[in-house]
Structure 1
Amino acid sequence: MPLPIDEVLPRILSSIQAARPVVLKAPPGAGKTTGIPPVLLKEGIQQFGQILLIQPRRLAARSAARRIASTLGETVGDRIGYHVRFDRRTGTRTELVAMTPGMLLRRLNDDPLLDSVGCVLLDEFHERSLELDLCLGMLHRIRTTLRDDLRLVVMSATLDPDPIVDFLGEGDAVVSQGRSYPVDIRYRPMQSRQRTEDAVADLLPEVRDATDGDVLVFLPGVGEIKRASQRLAHLASSLGYEVAELYGDLSPEQQDRVLRPADRRKVVLSTNVAETSVTIPGVTAVIDGGQAKVMTFHAAVGLPRLQRQPISVASADQRAGRAGRTQPGIAYRLWPEAMNRSRPAYDVPESRRSDLCQTVLILSRWGEIDVASFPWIDPPPSKSVDQAKALLRQLGAIDQGGKMTSDGYRMSNMPLHPRLSKLIASANRWNVLWPACLTAAMLSERPSLANADSGSDSPNRSASGDASVSSGWAENDLADAVDRLQTLSNQKTQRSGVEAQIIRVARRLEKIARSNRDAAPAHDESAAKLPVGQRLARALLSAFPDRIARRRDTASAQGVMIGGRGVRLTPSSTVANSALFLCIDVDSGDTEAKVRSAVGIQLDWLDDERVSQVDEAEFDPSTESLVMRRRIYVQDLLISETPIKCVSNESTAEVLLGEYLKRYGWCPPDCHDSVNEFVARVEFLRSNTPELELPPIGREQIEPTLRMLCAQHIQLSSVVNASWIDFLRAVYTYEQLRQIDHNAPDSLTVPGGSQRKIDYSEADRPTMSVKPQELFGWTESPRLAMSRVALRFQLLAPNGRPQQLTDDLASFWKNTYPQVRKDLRGRYPKHHWPEDPLTAAATRNGLKPR
């Protein structure tokens, strides 16, 4: 049957034969995945080497291989094969291999130039997975350096091809407008607070009458699928449907069963695993809930977070296209059409939102020390790169310079996240390889199986005593699941399902680990004396060194993790007593992280270099002094503290200095009149007599004294009440002090015989408060600052209240004093009010002389 893609195949073939990159945009159902590969084989493109079809998911890769083989009338494993993690069907005659990006990246480890490969097709590139971006960057580097003959086709249903062509620097953008069959888009907005499964149930009768095929329902996650399955079971049966589930955690056998035709019409409840590349035969209707659960790495806290969020317009179009694969179809969208305007056009590239630990390890193996210099189509955030490198250093995978270590090389041989690779590497030391392989396979394939609140029944354990993980170390949320897997692995009967898949993966991991053992550390002989559960917990500690948490209070479910993030254990967690625990499966959350599975640990399990004892001082506001505590840390996580006697030293000096600076800054304390007055006098002269070159009283002048005082005392008052005036005067030379005292004296002796202070607090206006009777005989105001500034007088009435301001005594005596005398001598007859103040004798207290 002709495909819409057929009209552009000549252009595609011409470019491929000329070894020019092709960037193809074609809508869902156009025939990209199943139409192009058979034509390439027919035209002999395999003469240049093997053809690799890269699919973003394992299910899609297996499905694509089967459909292409069926199109050619062949079986998978001969000319057409597939290679996904822990599952490979290829042979010596295989010319086309459908594989996941992860398998291509691993192939690049062993064959950096892809010498045996002639053409690579990157399918569904619009998904922008981190591994797809890595593959594109590496293929681009190979093509532009050593292998310009390597054919490259980038295929997408929604992305604009021009930016990708620009990134590659050459190539042909090809756009196919055709679609297999039309799809009618219908909007059915959910009611306020209506659950998605209820909206699907309300819509299902209409769908049954509108189409004669199967129904594909897109839901955000497994939890929603389970609820919908329960809600629809009876209704679907009454309408002639059977309900099937499709999501990534299912075993390959279970996934393949859903893709096979059935006797009855089906309602397939799926996550976005069915959004691209997977064709479910017979689907003529799609019900789209419009949301997806997306794992996002929060660089700010260094934790992943599974977020439910609206899908992009591109994803909605992809989903709708599933209804038009085999005949005209209908796509029901459970949101208002107007809401499309608020949806993002495309999904955020995974490189911008994911944990980069495995990516950085892959690049290190390729010798790419500087992650930023790698040819990214969208560079990842530098903070996420730095955090990934920090974790890899803790795991021992790279050195301080970013180069891969021998341990890192062995870890990169494992098709796992570096944490889980480290778990298996450490298991050799603790002699728990098989339980560690089961744990790693479970956390990799289906982490929910290990969650404390998964609701699974308690298992029949494989044995008691040393063979049982849970009996050896009870505070382990993974233990029951691992024990159950050990039991199943010892049974001779063949099993299917998720647990059987985990066991198969674990056996392959064990095989890889044993091949690495020649270079791995030998067993710790003392480990044999410990229960298996405790040994496994110690191996997990080496894999999650940054996920150590301390319980806030005894029996509390709350804790705080390295980095300061608050965490909370699930109510069903077995970690009930351990003061310290590992956060194995954790979601960052809004306020505190939710720990879905945890493992208790003990402080003495930690290596000495990871634990530090520090005597730390801090300021106690209640006593206005320093207190000291002896604290135990694991990285930045406070484990315990004990009060000890505070002794002055360099570290305490910094704490006391910090408290002083909060209050006073780099200035002398302003609670001493003598200090304030001296500073004001200096500033007065600096402003009016710059030629004296008096240095200011600032940080440079007081810092040595301040640091000295803080190093000698633990009480802030001892620093504040020190003899600051002596310290300040010591800043200046003898001659400078003489000039200060001469040109800005702190006081003057007035004619009445008293020593009256001068106030320099008002800039450039030195002022003396004094009664006029004390000034009789002074004909004019004294002058300061090398005679440049006249002293101002605040003249006081007999009651001590300010009466007059003047800096010109001569004018005051002549023009103002007569009126003052007239006004006040009647009210204050005992005071001295002579007619001529210039010749009268001054008095000390203002009274008439006796």
Structure 2
Amino acid sequence: MTRIPSSLPINEVLSDIVAALKTSGTVVIKAPPGAGKTTGVPIAMEEAGLITSRILIAQPRRLAARSAAARLADLMGSQIGHDVGYQVRFDRRWRSDTKMVAVTYGILLRQLQADPYLEGIDAVLLDEFHERGLESDLSLGMLLRLKQTVRPDLKLIVMSATMAPQPIADFLSQDGAAVDVVESEGRSYPVEIRYAKKWDRSTIEEQVAAALPSVLRATPGHLLVFLPGVGEIRKTETLIRQLPETRGAEILRLYGDLSPDKQDRVLRESRQRKIVLSTNVAETSVTIPGITAVIDSGAARVMRYDPDVGFPRLQIEPISMAAADQRAGRAGRTEAGMAQRLWTQATHRSRPEFDTPEILRTDLAGAVLQLAGWGERSVADFPWLDAPFPEAVATAESLLKSLGAIDDAGITPTGRRMLRLPVHPRLARLLIAGEEFGIPKRIAVTAAMLSERDPFRRGSGPPKTVRGKNRGNHNLLDSRSDILNALNRLEKYADGAEDPQANEAAARHIFRVAEQLAGMLEGGKGKQESNAEDSDIAIMRALLAAYPDRLAKRRSRGSDRAIIGNGQGVKLSGESKVQEGDLFLVIDVQQATGDAKVRQASMVEHEWLDPAGFSERDEAFFHPSLRQIAARRRLYWNDLLLKETPIESADDDQSQALLHEHAIRNWDRIFPQEDTGLQRLLARIRFLQKWNPELELPALDTESLHAVCFQLCRGRKSFLDLAKAPWRDFILGKLSYQQQQALQTHAPERIKVPSGNEVAIEYQEDKPPILAVRLQELFGWDKTPCVANGRVPLLLHLLGPNRQPQQITEDLASFWEHTYPQVRKDLRRRYSKHHWPEDPTQALASRSGLKRDSQ
């Protein structure tokens, strides 16, 4: 007889959940951690007759799947592997008649690939959906597609601790059928939140050690410490074991890769006080009994995709407000508690409200391959709760094509083989290549070493036991491949070599994963592998199959700087020992200012390159220092330039477009600037456009001038050629004959004044045109001349003999009558040799202005 503890808050809404499932077959549940939803909902469904065959309970982590199965089995009065079971990577405990199976989201996706109809499955429960992992988003879309097509009878339950449930319900209602939302308030005790008084420059580990004594004094129960990763857990443990306050306490670690027995030790109830150092797995995935205090570092390790370099990077980031509340809530499950946050209250307000969904921040290659294998024709048409960025999808598709996993028709046979391996597509391709080269076991160790935790972290201390004599020296390094160096070092350690920097648990885990991976390869069972040298070459060639897009070519012989196919510069760091060859693979990279730093690389021989990847192209390019078009005959492998030779550039469309592109970027260097006839012409045309619109002169804005530039680029090769080009003629050519005549008449470049001189008119934007001329050259004019067919008077700058303005006016007649007498008096005194008539309208104009020239 099954039973659900009456103390679980989920009991209050189980009848609503069952009713919703009987009505629509889909329900969205929001309930806080500790409410009992993970165990209560499947049991209630089974008791209501909704599970006749099997329910899959999907969890984001292996630890959560095992924990859920153990709790369910206990409540059902069953043993693991009978009525209740679980399946995680490399660990399966269920049989054909098992009704409840807790799985990771990765296992659920594999089952959807193997059995797209999920035959024999009555229901799927997606737990901890608020974490918004890529696999959970992918699972939700696939299950929705399944329900809308061939499995409308499939029961679907989505459970979240923090997410607003209605958007998920709306998403699942795409076919018009309403989806119910059920919320459980849960039960918790008040938690006192404390913040750091000021920003602390010390390390996270030091901050935890400083805060721990006061937190231990504040509450009597167990203490949970949230840290970003295993490295911080290890360092923190070293520090706090030295504190007198931790004597008598049991200090435990908790993270995803921890062995099941050590995980169970954390989750068991104990009277001895516990200090649990955990990653974010303890945030919502598991409940640790007796926790009354939390120390929160406020950070987590998050995988983000960097499109600039094409590499996913794991980085420590501040957690969201929602995640911080979840962590604090762990202290109030059984009684009042407290949470010490290692950041100030002021900085708390700057944190994001929720974590960014993984689909918007990480590598999508695995997801795109899953969809291709499932027969999805378009990633964009797939039902996403949050659609991925198109650029990230394009990057993933490009990678999968380079790996040979997909082509224009869909998934390839190689891609099908890759899907069967529970690793990233790169590593799956690595395994397949190693198998084809006859080294399935050794390539499995390589893949495990690349995917799992580094077994040679500095400061990890010596192994607990030494299993034989040192039969090698890992300091004798191979200058061809850092991966070979790491592999050889790991193999020697496994064979008994002493290594004080080795982490025995991490090394054991790698070999355990490698054994599982090798067993999944067709040639990985009992096959004799190649000799050592051939095996080393095979590993380096298999790495090329897995990282073809990360092939780099040194900038010069022996240089530690190189360039990869996407144009990104890289630099071999001091950690890399690769010295041979001009080609190498970028395996492990750390982004830096300027060139990315390559920590692990592996040499590539030219003859290893797939001939199908070679192409020869004649390409024009803009030479930045010569500022001209040059051309090269270039040999590429995929997108990586291997070799080039100079050739004569052709006067073709490519050269024209290239010169035009760079001319636009450097417009100030190309387009003739001030004090040129071109600028004066443009000013006249624009002036006439404004005052004589009936002429319908063509627009000469920046876009139009760029178009003129494109025409001028034809047959020219350099910026110098462009600067000397007949810009004025081309622009005048845009005007009809009548328009050119009107331009000359109504916006003349010069005007003839009474002295006989032709004086330039300065046309200004949104201002009257200026005629700057010596006053004595205007004697004889009785009014201001106009342009624009008489619509606009010139603004006269009347200059003295010293060429300085004596008066500025638009009304010459008024000036002669009212202002000139006073100006004449002043000018006669200063320039006595010049002619200053009493009536300028009747006087003879003079070019020099002297008395002798005016008679």
Which category describes the TM-score, using the shorter chain as reference length? 0.7 to 0.9
Question: Partners of 1:835 and 1:175 in 2: how far apart?
Answer: 101
- In structure 1, list runs of 5 or more residues that go unmatched: 518-526
Q: Secondary structure at the match of 1:848?
A: helix
368, 372, 375: which one aligns with 1:367: 375
What does residue 422 of structure 1 align with? 429
How many angstroms apart in 2 are the aligned matches of 1:773 and 1:185? 93
Residue 760 of structure 1: how far off its partner (Å): 4.7
1:750 Cα shift?
6.6
The structural deviation recorded for 1:648 is 6.6
1:12 and 1:687 map into 2 onto residues whose CA distance is: 73
Checking the alignment, whether the CA contact within 8 Å between 1:284 and 1:329 is kept in structure 2 is no
Pick which of 253-262 and 88-97 moved more.
253-262
- Whose radius of gyration is greater, 1 or 2? 1
Which residue of structure 1 lines up, in the alignment, with residue 500 of structure 2? none
- Counting only pairs closer than 5 Å after superposition, residues 830-849 of structure 1 correspond to structure 2 as 845=848, 846=850, 848=852
**TM-score, normalized by length of structure 2?**
0.78
Q: 1:554 to 1:828 in 2, by over 3 A?
A: same
Normalized against structure 1, the TM-score is what? 0.78
**Which is further off, 371-380 or 187-196?**
187-196
Deviates more, 1:688-697 or 1:635-644: 635-644
Indicate yes or no: 2:65 matched with 1:61. Answer: yes
User: 153-162 or 51-60, which moves further after superposition?
Assistant: 153-162
In the alignment, the residues of structure 2 paired with residue 764 and residue 204 of structure 1 have an alpha-carbon distance, to the nearest angstrom, of: 78
**Alignment partner of 1:369: what SS?**
coil
Verify: 1:448 aligned to 2:451, yes or no.
Answer: no
1:623-654 per-position Cα deviation (integer Å, ceiling 9, x unaligned): 77667788877777777888888887655555
Whole-Å separation in 2 of the counterparts to 1:198 and 1:584: 33
Contact 2:554–2:562 under 8 Å retained in 1: yes
The letter of the residue matching 2:277 is L
* Worse overlay, 340-349 or 142-151: 340-349
Is contact 1:213–1:284 with CA below 8 Å preserved after alignment? Answer: yes
Note the C-alpha offset of 1:258. Answer: 5.3
2:672 corresponds to 1:669: yes
Give the CA deviation at 1:83: 1.3
Does residue 584 in structure 1 map to residue 591 in structure 2?
Answer: no
Q: Which one of the candidate residues 38, 54, 64 is aligned to 1:33? A: 38
1:411 equivalent in alignment to 2:414: no
After TM superposition, give the deviation of residue 107 of structure 1 in Å: 0.9
Q: 2:543 aligns with which of 533, 540, 543?
A: 540
8 Å Cα contact 2:768-2:794 kept in structure 1: no
Of residues 351, 365, 373 in structure 1, which corresponds to 2:359? 351
Alignment of 1:276-291 (within 5 A): 276-278=284-286, 283-291=290-298
Using a 3 Å threshold, how does the CA distance of structure 1 residues 696 and 758 change in structure 2: closer, same or farther? Answer: farther
Q: 1:396 aligns with which of 391, 401, 404?
A: 404
Q: 1:479 aligns with which of 484, 488, 492?
A: 484
Deviation at 1:615, TM superposition (A): 5.1
Q: Which residue of 2 aligns with 1:91?
A: 95
CA–CA separation in structure 2 for the residues paired with 1:566 and 1:626 = 23
List per-residue Cα deviations over 1:264-311 (Å, max 9, x = no partner).
76544222223444455x655554324342314245534434343454
Cα deviations across residues 143-169 of structure 1 (Å, max 9, x unaligned)? 343333323333344445454444434
SS at match of 1:250: coil
Change in CA separation of 1:591 and 1:806 when aligned onto 2, cut-off 3 Å: closer
Q: Distance in 1 between matches of 2:104 and 2:388?
A: 21
Distance 1:345 1:384, change over 3 A: same
For residue 116 of structure 1, report the CA deviation from its aligned partner: 0.4
Name the SS of the counterpart of 1:599 in structure 2.
Answer: strand
1:707-755 deviation per Cα after TM superposition (whole angstroms, max 9, x unaligned): 5654455554444345555555555566665665566665577776x55
Residues 425, 793 of structure 1: alpha-carbon distance in 2 compared, 3 angstrom cutoff: same
- 2:428 aligned partner, one-letter code: S
Question: Which amino acid in 2 is paired with 1:118?
Answer: D
Which shifted more, 528-537 or 802-811? Answer: 802-811
1:306 and 2:314 matched: yes
Taking the aligned partners of 1:538 and 1:211, their CA distance within structure 2 comes to 58
1:239 maps to what in 2? 247
Mean CA deviation greater in 303-312 or 557-566:
557-566
Residue 117 of structure 1 deviates from its aligned partner by 0.9
Question: Counterparts in 2 of 1:264-663, with a 5 A limit?
Answer: 266-278=274-286, 283-298=290-305, 300-301=307-308, 302-312=310-320, 315=323, 318-319=326-327, 332-335=339-342, 346-400=354-408, 403-428=410-435, 430-444=437-451, 446-449=452-455, 474-483=479-488, 497-514=505-522, 531-548=534-551, 571-575=574-578, 581-586=584-589, 597-601=600-604, 606=609, 609=613, 617-618=621-622, 651=654, 653-654=656-657, 656-657=659-660, 661=664
Deviation at 1:362, TM superposition (A): 1.5
Q: How big is the shift at 1:787?
A: 6.7
**2:587 alignment partner, SS class:** strand
* Contact 1:436/1:536 (8 A) holds in 2: yes
Distance 1:743 1:541, change over 3 A: same
Superposition deviation, residue 360 in structure 1: 2.1
Specify the alignment match of 2:763 in structure 1: 761
Q: CA deviation at 1:417?
A: 1.5
Structure 1 position 78 matched with structure 2 position 82? yes
Displacement of 1:225 after TM fit?
Answer: 1.2
Equivalent in the alignment of 1:134: 138
Amino acid aligned to 1:295: V
Query: Cα deviation per residue 1:69-97 (whole Å; 9 max; x = unaligned)?
Result: 34444432233222111221222332222
For residues 553 and 452 of structure 1, what CA distance do their matches in structure 2 show? 33
Q: Is the 8 A contact 1:473 1:533 kept in 2?
A: no
Q: CA deviation at 1:137?
A: 2.9
In structure 1, distance between residues paired with 2:597 and 2:232 = 19
Distance 1:697 1:345 in 2: 50
Question: Is 1:477–1:574's contact at 8 Å kept on the other side of the alignment?
Answer: yes
Q: How has the CA–CA distance of structure 1 residues 741 and 242 changed in structure 2, closer, same or farther, with 3 Å as cutoff?
A: closer
Q: Distance in 2 between matches of 1:208 and 1:667?
A: 72
Q: Is the 8 A contact 1:554 1:577 kept in 2?
A: no
Deviation at 1:222, TM superposition (A): 0.7
Aligned-residue identity in percent:
41
RMSD (CA atoms): 5.3
Q: Which runs of 5+ in 2 are unaligned?
A: 497-502
Native 8 Å contact 1:253 1:497 kept in 2: no
Matching residue's letter, 1:532: S
**C-alpha distance in 2, partners of 1:454/1:238?**
22
Q: Note if contact 1:657-1:710 (Cα within 8 Å) is conserved in structure 2.
A: yes
Equivalent pair of 2:33/2:287 in contact (CA under 8 Å): no
Partner of 1:522: none
CA offsets 1:493-550 (integer angstroms, 9 cap, x no match): xx99544443343344344442899xxxxxxxxx999843343233323323444456
Match of 2:107 among 103, 109, 119: 103
Q: Cα deviations across residues 474-504 of structure 1 (Å, max 9, x unaligned)? A: 343332343355568899xxx9954444334
Q: CA deviation at 1:437?
A: 2.4
CA distance in 1, matches of 2:584, 2:438: 22
Does structure 1 conserve the Cα–Cα contact (< 8 Å) formed by 2:655 and 2:717? yes
State the AA in 2 paired with 1:66.
A
**Bigger Cα displacement from structure 2, 220-229 vs 779-788:** 779-788
* Cα pair 1:284 1:323 within 8 Å, conserved: yes
Aligned AA (1:413): R
245-254 vs 329-338, which deviates more?
Answer: 329-338
Residues 257 and 809 (structure 1), Cα distance of their counterparts in 2 relative to 1, 3 Å cut: closer
Distance in 1 (alpha carbons) for counterparts of 2:779 and 2:107:
101
Q: Deviations over 1:569-626 (max 9, x none)?
A: 65433335666544434455788766554434467755574777665544657x7766
For 1:371, what is the secondary structure of its paired residue?
coil
Shift in alpha-carbon separation, 1:315–1:734, aligned structure 2, 3 A: closer
Residue 248 (structure 1) shift: 2.0
Task: Give the partner amino acid of 2:396.
Answer: A
Contact 1:249 1:498 in 2 (8 A): no
CA distance in 2, matches of 1:602, 1:14: 65
Work out whether residues 84 and 103 of structure 1, in 8 Å CA contact, stay in contact via their aligned partners in 2. yes
